[in-house]
Structure 1
């Protein structure tokens, strides 16, 4: 049964990109406060490999603050069209500034301006305030490249546990669990 879970994820992800109607990259990101209060939201996978699964956000957002205080998280991909899920758990680290710069440069200009305009996760009195901030950023950066904001960065979840769940008739699902122990992946099965 010893397969490489990253290769298996690659295979499933390629299938999901062909079959999912919207955002095969969408994943639920679970974080927790220092006292263990959970929080979950959807983010987009922007890179993955043996070193981990990467997403980008504002480090001053709720998720950024929770990751700074408790650098562990869980991810969940649910590909309904394939009747599959992948669960990933592990420690989180911030990507290097050069990596964040490189990804930020690939974003559309309006997304770049939005990253400057948004004070992510902070209270907003009305939508027009945000739209005015966006227009201010558009004027400020008119005619030049939009640099990455200092607090906008990427985070990488280093997988320590990866579970592959496949739907089966009569709720007799298949669950394959890979656990990383001393640098090696150990595979086993779980009861559904």
Structure 2
């Protein structure tokens, strides 16, 4: 039977990566949308050629890889450039995710994406799990992990889907306000529940 797809999302510093890793350690096939976004612009892939054609060689690093920082800078200031890039990349990222999910051998597979709701990627899934964390913990964890200022974290939080929007799309919510052991217990409980679902629905 074809595995059903669980969408896993959460704001920055919510612990969604730690949750995803634990699902993976239980034998669940996992696809990370961020990785797919990186693969589609690897050297030799058509998307990179199109980006260079539009923005010039200045966006390449000496080894031929895409200079992400330069690209971010470029589209940050220009709405139409950002839209052009999204129209180029979103379908390719979608294809990359779909072909990777199609390789899943586990009873269900997971699509991890910080922008699951905003990007419309939730439409590729049968069920959505949101890892939710009180904002003060998100701030603390992200500042500690990325060595960035509170101001920077707040601006990232603002750009991501509002917590309420994310929660509106959730079929399940994992409240991550304890330690890693507590997170793992909740993942294992959900995993047992998911194994009993057909097509992601009880």
* TM-score greater than 0.5 by the shorter chain: no
Which structure: larger Rg?
1
TM-score, normalised with respect to structure 1: 0.30
Which is bigger in relative contact order (C-alpha 8 A, separation at least 6)? 2
Structure ranking higher in strand proportion: 1
